[in-house]
Amino acid sequence: MPLGIDAVIMAIDAVAREAMLFAAIGFLIGGIDDLAVDLVYLWSRATTWLKPAPRRAPVRDGGRLAVFIPAWDESAVIGQMLRTALARYAYADYRLYVGIYPNDPATLAAAGAVAAEDARVRIVINERPGGTTKADCLNAIWRALLRDEAEEGPARAIVLHDAEDVVHPDELGVMAAWLTDHAAVQIPVLPLPDPRSPLIAGHYLDEFAEAHAKTLAVREALGAALPFAGVGCAIDRALLGRIAEARDGVPFDESSLTEDYELGLTVAMMGGRTRLARARDVDGRLVAVRAYFPASLGAAVRQKARWMTGIALAGWDRTGWARGGSAGEHWMRMRDRRATLAIPVLAIAYLALVAWGVSLGAHLAAGTPLPAPEGMLRTLLAANLALLGWRIAMRMLFTARAFGPVEAMLSIPRLFVANLVALLAARRAIVIYLPTLRGQRPVWDKTAHHFPETEGSTPA
Q: How confident is the model over 434-458, as a mean pLDDT?
A: 71
Task: Label residue 457 by pLDDT band (50, 70, 90).
Answer: very low
Is the pLDDT at 6 greater than 80? The verdict is no
Domains of the chain: residue spans and CATH: 3-44+336-437 (no CATH), 65-306+317-324+447-457 (3.90.550.10)
Greater model confidence, 318 or 391: 391
pLDDT of residue 456: 41
* 61-75, 227-241, 263-277, 322-336: least confident range: 322-336
> What crossing angle do the helices spanning 3-50 and 339-366 adopt, rounded to 10°?
140
Q: Report CA-CA distances (Å) from 1 to 127, 291, 301, 363.
A: 75, 61, 46, 11
Task: Write the burial class of residue 453 (CB in 10 Å: 0-12 exposed, 13-18 middle, 19+ buried).
Answer: exposed
Residue 333's φ and ψ, nearest 5 degrees, are -70, -35
Q: What is the pLDDT of residues 166-190, one digit of tens each?
A: 999 999 999 999 999 999 999 999 9
Secondary structure of residue 131 in the 3-state scheme: coil
pLDDT tens-digit map of 133-147: 899 999 999 999 999
Question: Which strands make up the sheet holding 94-100, listed edge to edge?
Answer: 121-125, 94-100, 65-70, 157-160, 233-236, 184-186, 274-276
Residues 6+ apart with CB under 8 A from 196: 295
- Res. 53: pLDDT tops 60: yes
User: 229-238, 298-307, 383-392, 435-444: which range is least confident on average?
Assistant: 435-444
DSSP code string of 298-359: HHHHHHHHHHIIIIIIHHHHHTTT-TT--HHHHHHHHHHTTHHHHHHHHHHHHHHHHHHHHH
Report the alpha-carbon distance of residue 227 to residue 309 in Å, rounded: 15
